[in-house]
Amino acid sequence: MSQIYDRVALIGLGLIASSMFWAIKRAGLAGEVTGYARSEATRDTARRIGLCDRVCDTAREAVECADLVVLCVPVGAMGAVAEDIAAVLKPGATVSDVGSVKRHVIQAVQPHIPEGVHFIPAHPLAGTEHSGPESGFAELFDNRWCLLVPVEGSDPDAVARLRALWEGMGSSVDEMDADHHDLVLAVTSHAPHLIAYTMVGVADDLRRVTDSEVIKYSAAGFRDFTRIAASDPTMWRDVFLSNKDATLEILGRFTEELFALQRAIRTGDGEHLFDYFTRTRAIRRGIIDAGQDTDAPDFGRGKASS
Amino acid sequence: MSQIYDRVALIGLGLIASSMFWAIKRAGLAGEVTGYARSEATRDTARRIGLCDRVCDTAREAVECADLVVLCVPVGAMGAVAEDIAAVLKPGATVSDVGSVKRHVIQAVQPHIPEGVHFIPAHPLAGTEHSGPESGFAELFDNRWCLLVPVEGSDPDAVARLRALWEGMGSSVDEMDADHHDLVLAVTSHAPHLIAYTMVGVADDLRRVTDSEVIKYSAAGFRDFTRIAASDPTMWRDVFLSNKDATLEILGRFTEELFALQRAIRTGDGEHLFDYFTRTRAIRRGIIDAGQDTDAPDFGRGKASS
């Protein structure tokens, strides 16, 4: 793989940024990768483990002379970071991000992007339950989708170059507009996360069942929910606050359907339940056929246990 | 491991029964294991793959002379099977089951158990998204809990013997009463399953987001839900119909909490969301510490992909 950018700056050094660094290095996609994190402890950790070619003490220093700047901070912090670095952005550079919400990020970041700098929002659909600079690994994006969300007037050459970077990091790349992105993600990620958080919270509240029982006997089902509900609280707070409308729409539909199933349970309508459960099985089949998960037996123990 | 029963009969040959057979063979826990399934196709498959030492064409034939009979049929079918085999049960034999609900199974089965036969309900907390006679494997129960739910007057020696069988198959064994079992499982398994089914159904309904998008872009979150929602429809229909009260109680609490979180999103109460998400993270930690899951990175791809 050949070099795509001379210099890449990663702002924020959590799971996604650290994985990007290792994936860029694996394929030799950039000459130098600089990094910045707000917390001194994170910068120290990054220096200790060799994360980034150069870790800078300010975002501005990291961004200077960069051909690509990727904002890898929580969605709620994107606007302030963009404002901070705007004055030192190199003419012709590209600014991108990895936020899970796109409409809100565009509203927060675009006003700060100077004339002559390209802004191309992006969202890699990859993650684990872990966070922080030590959680990254080069393979995170392999065979996962990265969605580019070009804004009006995005330069096609700059978009093609960013696409090449993500493909070089192992991703498949698609483009869509911001509102559709936010709705698709509300269905496939944001609402499921809120639901998982809720169910885990309910278990914690229920005093007739002790915490130790919930933990000890957590079978498939709840155990998968706890994995989802272990994701970074700051990131997810920002996701829900900034993708409010789409998330609330999906949750509204969810509640409606849940009430219908509850009524079927209460009235003993087994046929309704059976038909519903049969339909959802087909969707699972589709995901496996699309190569987005495996159906290998996991010995009832969850991920990566083999 | 030494032999615990001379003859074991497995009634119903799905994931649990087939895994029991391979686990019993692995450790040499029984002299002969007979099997019966209602469907001729299942019996043919069992004979073809060597599942059970002897596959019988009737449940009665499988049960004759058995020291242990394990009912491995959906919860809704337990009563009829018990009635069918009652007359041929060997005096001093033990009848057990593997149903996910215990109060209902006890009510359906116990009236048919003859004097001099022990009835000891059980529930192994293990499973995968697969079902049928070919889905079993010897390791399914390793390090998973099996809950024994002795009924009033259960013979301690018979309970100890059944416990030894499950331990021999790799399980840890605990005992609890039926109502508490049903509540614990409503929290850790039944409600999470209904919720996952619902969320997958919502995605399927939403015409503004195409099925192929839901499948293609299903990130962690929704993908985990589809795994849960792929479980056997008949089994789960029966679980919800037979553990109605506990499941509806938990779903009621779930809806309450979900409404509170929805309100926090609507009003922009980030602190409420952050605190809630931080609390749920600790529960995940407890499950990993208890050895019921691993926290190894899974490359964003789900289970057993390494």
A191 and A157 assigned to the same domain? no
Residue with tokens 């009563």: B79
Partner residue facing A306 (CB), from B125, B219, B306: B306
Check CB contact of A210 with chain B, cutoff 8 Å: no
Residue A294 in any domain: the answer is no
Residues of A in contact with B227 (CB under 8 A): 224, 284, 293
Rounded to a whole number of angstroms, the distance from the CA of B283 to the nearest CA of chain A is 7
CB atoms inside a 10 Å sphere around CB B267: 11
A102 and A163 assigned to the same domain? yes
Rounded to a whole number of angstroms, the distance from the CA of A201 to the nearest CA of chain B is 6
Contact residues for A159 (Cβ-Cβ < 8 A; gap 6+): A120, A148, A150, A175
Mean pLDDT, all residues of chain B: 90
Check CB contact of A188 with chain B, cutoff 8 Å: yes
Burial class (CB in 10 A: 0-12, 13-18, 19+), A2: exposed
A138 and A195 assigned to the same domain? no
B163 and B192 assigned to the same domain? no
C-beta of residue B224 within 8 angstroms of C-beta of residue A228: yes
- Give the Å distances, CA to CA, from B207 to A187, B203, B213, B227: 12, 9, 11, 22
Judged by CB atoms closer than 8 Å, whether chains meet at A187 and B145 is answered as no
B32 and B167 assigned to the same domain? yes
Structure confidence at residue A25 (pLDDT): 98
**Cα–Cα distance between A100 and B123 in angstroms, integer?**
40
Task: Determine the residue of chain A that is closest to B205 in CA distance.
Answer: A253
Structure confidence at residue A202 (pLDDT): 87
**CATH number reported for the structural domain that contains residue B16 in this entry:** 3.40.50.720
- Please say which residue of A143, A176, A209 terminates a domain: A176
CB pairs under 8 A between A and B: 384
User: Which residue, among B131, B169, B177, B215, would best test binding to A if mutated, counting the most A CBs under 10 Å from its CB?
Assistant: B215
**Cα–Cα distance between A269 and A7 in angstroms, integer?**
62
Judged by CB atoms closer than 8 Å, whether chains meet at B188 and A203 is answered as yes
3-class SS shares of chain B: helix, strand, coil, % to 5:
50, 10, 35
Check CB contact of A283 with chain B, cutoff 8 Å: yes
Among A73, A43, A41, smallest CA distance to A55 is for: A43
Rounded to a whole number of angstroms, the distance from the CA of B295 to the nearest CA of chain A is 8
Question: Three-state DSSP class for B36?
Answer: strand
CA angle A20, A186, A151 (to 5 degrees): 60
Task: Determine the residue of chain A that is closest to B271 in CA distance.
Answer: A237
Taking only the tens of pLDDT, chain A with its 306 residues reads 689 999 999 999 999 999 999 999 999 999 999 999 999 999 999 999 999 999 999 999 999 999 999 999 999 999 999 999 999 999 999 999 999 999 999 999 999 999 999 999 999 998 887 889 999 999 999 999 999 999 988 899 999 999 999 999 999 999 999 999 999 999 888 998 899 889 888 887 776 677 678 777 876 567 778 878 888 899 899 999 999 999 999 999 999 999 999 999 999 999 999 999 998 887 777 777 766 565 544 333 333 222
Check CB contact of A140 with chain B, cutoff 8 Å: yes
- Please say which residue of A176, A191, A225 terminates a domain: A176
Rounded to a whole number of angstroms, the distance from the CA of A221 to the nearest CA of chain B is 5
Helix (H) or strand (E) holding B6, with range, is strand B5-11
Residue B296 in any domain: the answer is no
Looking at B22-26, B42-46, B188-192, which range is the least confident one? B188-192
Task: Determine the residue of chain B that is closest to A174 in CA distance.
Answer: B217
A170 and A239 assigned to the same domain? no
**Cα–Cα distance between A37 and A105 in angstroms, integer?**
19
Check CB contact of A169 with chain B, cutoff 8 Å: no
Domain count, chain B: 2
**Helices A156-168 & A15-27 angle (0-180, nearest 10):** 90
Helix (H) or strand (E) holding A97, with range, is strand A94-97
Helix (H) or strand (E) holding A122, with range, is strand A122-124
CA angle A79, A103, A85 (to 5 degrees): 20
Between residues 46 and 105 of chain A, which touch chain B (CB distance below 8 Å)? 76
Residue B262 in any domain: the answer is yes
A156 and A241 assigned to the same domain? no
- Chain segment B85-131, per-residue pLDDT in tens: 999 999 999 999 999 999 999 999 999 999 999 999 999 998 887 88
Check CB contact of A243 with chain B, cutoff 8 Å: no
- Prediction ipTM score: 0.82
A35 and A113 assigned to the same domain? yes
- Chain segment B194-231, per-residue pLDDT in tens: 998 898 888 877 766 776 787 778 765 677 788 788 88
Residue B299 in any domain: the answer is no
Task: Determine the residue of chain A that is closest to B253 in CA distance.
Answer: A202
Partner residue facing A290 (CB), from B125, B215, B273: B215
- Please say which residue of A176, A202, A226 terminates a domain: A176
Residue A305 in any domain: the answer is no
**CATH number reported for the structural domain that contains residue B220 in this entry:** 1.10.3660.10
Judged by CB atoms closer than 8 Å, whether chains meet at A192 and B237 is answered as no
pTM of the model: 0.82
Partner residue facing B277 (CB), from A233, A251, A304: A233
Residue B79 in any domain: the answer is yes
Structure confidence at residue B65 (pLDDT): 96
A22 and A115 assigned to the same domain? yes
A12 and A105 assigned to the same domain? yes
CB atoms inside a 10 Å sphere around CB B185: 27
Rounded to a whole number of angstroms, the distance from the CA of B100 to the nearest CA of chain A is 11
- Chain segment B272-306, per-residue pLDDT in tens: 999 999 988 877 777 777 665 655 443 333 332 22
Residue A257 in any domain: the answer is yes
B52 and B166 assigned to the same domain? yes
Provide the strand spans (E) within B59-208.
68-71, 94-97, 118-119, 122-124, 145-148, 172-175
Residues of B in contact with A299 (CB under 8 A): 137, 139-140, 142, 304
Residues of A in contact with B224 (CB under 8 A): 192, 224-225, 227-228
- Chain segment B25-79, per-residue pLDDT in tens: 999 999 999 999 999 999 999 999 999 999 999 999 999 999 999 999 999 999 9
| Range(s) of the domain holding residue A172 | 5-176
Partner residue facing B247 (CB), from A125, A247, A265: A265
B172 and B272 assigned to the same domain? no
Between residues 7 and 26 of chain B, which touch chain A (CB distance below 8 Å)? none
Residue B103 in any domain: the answer is yes
Judged by CB atoms closer than 8 Å, whether chains meet at B202 and A257 is answered as yes
- Chain segment B145-157, per-residue pLDDT in tens: 999 999 988 899 9
